[in-house]
Structure 1
Amino acid sequence: MDYRKVSRFIFIGGLAFLVDYFIFKFLHPYVGVSARIISFLTAAFFSWSLNRRFTFEFQERNIFMEFVKYLSSSKIAYVTNVSIFYVFFSVVGMKALFSYIVATGFSALVSYNLYRRI
C-alpha cells in the first residue's frame, strides 16, 4: 500500500468534505434535500481535480473519458454516502455533522478503492 497516496487522498478528501458540508449548509434552507446532490457533485469535481494531479496521476489521455470514469465511480460512492447519511440523519435522528462524518468515512473507503483503478 502506498501510504503517501493514501495520505494525499485523505487530505484532499478532508478538503472536499468541507466543500461538501458548507455548500450543503448554505443551500439547504433554500432548496431542501436537493442541496445534498449539489454539494456532493461539487465536492466530487473538486476532489477529482486535485486527486488526478496529486494522488493518482491518472494516465488517461482523454481527460473527458477520465472524468466520466471518475464520475461513474463517484456514483457508487454517492449512493453509499447518501444512504448512510439518510439513515443517520433522517432515521436515527443524529445531527447533520455526525451523519456527514460517518457517511463520508464509509464512502471514502469505497472511493479510494474505485478511483485507484481508473
Structure 2
Amino acid sequence: IFWCMSKLLDGIQDNYTFAQPGIQRKVKALEELVSRIDEPEGFSHFHLYVCAAFLVQWRKEILEEKDFQGLMILLQNLPTMHWGNEEISVLLAEAYRLKYAFADAPNHYKR
C-alpha cells in the first residue's frame, strides 16, 4: 500500500510545492478544455457538421437527382415534416460524431 500511495503522490507533488506549478498547469488545461467545449463560434461551427450529417442522411435521394433544379426542389421538400425528438436526436448524434472525428484533423476538408 505504501508504494501505491507513494506513486499516486509522486504524480501530484507539484500541486504542493512553491508556486504550485501542478495546480497552475491543471487550471490552464481546464481553461483550454472549457474553451474548446464552449467555443466562441457556438452553433455556427457545429452547423457545418449538422449540414454534413443531414446530407449523408439523404445521400441516396440526393445522388439520384439529375439536375440542379431537381436537387434544390428535393432539398427544400425533404420529408422531415413528421420528424420528432428521436429523429432529431439521431441527426445531432451523427453531427457530433462527425465533429469529433474530423474537427481536429488538419486536412479534414481535403480529400
Q: Normalised by the size of structure 2, how large is the TM-score?
A: 0.30
Larger radius of gyration, structure 1 or 2?
A: 2
Q: TM-score, normalised by structure 1?
A: 0.28
Whose helix fraction is larger, Structure 1's or Structure 2's? 1
